[in-house]
Structure 1
Amino acid sequence: MSLSQELEKLLEPIRGFLHCETPQAWIDEAIKPENETILLRDHANCELKASQTAMWLIRKYAIDESSGALLLEWAKPYEDFVYLCKKNGISQSKKNGLSAPLTPKAGFAHSQDLIDKMVRLIKEEFHHFEQVVEIMEKRDMAYSSLPAGGYARGLMKSARTHEPATLIDKLIIGAYIEARSCERFAKVAPYLDEELRKFYISLLRSEARHYQDYLKLAEAIAGGDIRDRIKIIGEKEAALIQAPDNTFRFHSGVPALAA
């Protein structure tokens, strides 16, 4: 199987899962040379936010308090880099990871499955964050955080407010965010320089697996058919992607001037 065939096989279920494709107007904005720094800065932010979200899910639902402290310790060098501009911690954190195993919380049947899937996701998202920062450094781009766009916040408004429905919906939302990331990497990659093109293509496999892991967890915890929730949240996600957006970000909608 050629690389292009493999990528098409990866992307086919994602295209079927998402309710719309990324509009061409967003792609046109993303590939403008003057937006490269914003694209990379926000990409790095997205990788960190993805790891933080996974950590929050583990801490809230799947582990005891002492294990929660281990997760916070793992995240600290990355958060210090972003929020306190401490640049030295990440190189050391690459070698460390979790300093001890996490202890599953009693009384939640899916604790270990959630831990296993989310810890793997966190490791990969931290690694992707490191890779984006390294690319920026090679291009003499200064890293700084950006205010978040409205995409994730808009999706979270779809989550129900009683358990376990809240957890199920947040897992479905996580699946849509990961699937959209994968789709957008594939959309912009052909227009980018060789280094970025290869990098974005290299991310497709993990992003595709992440969305599937989120969905599998949602289905297992629900213990029944969740197609109605997938549809409702998917329609909301598509509406956000197709709506005019004044702020350009990796998951933003149609650039307002093009809408």
Structure 2
Amino acid sequence: MAIPVFGLGTFRLKDDVVTSSVKTALELGYRAIDTAQIYDNEAAIGQVIANSGVARNDLYITTKIWTENLSKDKLIPSLKESLKKLQTDYVDLTLIHWPSPNDAVPVEEYMQALLEAKKQGLTREIGVSNFTIALMDKAIATVGAANIATNQIELSPYLQNRQVVDWARQHGIHITSYMTLAYGKALTDNVIMRIAQKHHATPAQVILAWAMGEGYSVIPSSTKRENLASNLLAVDLHLDEEDKKAIAALECNDRLVNPEGLAPVWD
């Protein structure tokens, strides 16, 4: 089951804000929604989906297990709680949100528990997020590469994460990009703006099209209808080799998400 190339991110969106964003996105044709236990918005999203009239099998829902729920006795019960909030019998994809800080819970333990959740039908696919090469290697050793649908990582024109991307590719692991617009910083980049003018597109469309053109899935979020609609058009924008080279040259290892006590030692 291939991961959709384009979805809706819901990081930092709560209550009425997430309700409005997801409702609008579904109206516009979005069918993939990315959430997480720590976002505290699963219940709001579940209610929107229940009210939307969109058939469950037309949707692709991703959630992520928080670090406090990684132990084998907590992971499956926490996922069942997520399903209850989302008002669904299963999610399409469940990710380990962050590796266990200081390896308090071994990779082997939570990956085995996640695989068991898949066997029980609680989730169709499983994967990881914010995993380094060493962590992906451990995950593969535990459950096999075929059971790791994606590694969701921070990836933007300013942080292209080539080492991790190349290693994942060699091992058949798909990449999902988050923070693709670099918190909006990349939208005002002169190179991006020039490419946008050339294609009569928005800077956001250019960046999202670049990421999808590299083979990644993207999950941009927005609270505005016009931006949600505009971002979706990036699926039909194709950049040429000159554009791709210009964006490749923007790499400057500018990592924006690096929470102390949570982030691993990055590659």
TM-score tier, shorter chain, comes to under 0.3
**TM-score for both structures, normalised by structure 2:** 0.27
**Higher helix residue share:** 1
**Higher strand residue share:** 2
Larger relative contact order (Cα-Cα within 8 Å, sequence gap ≥ 6): 1
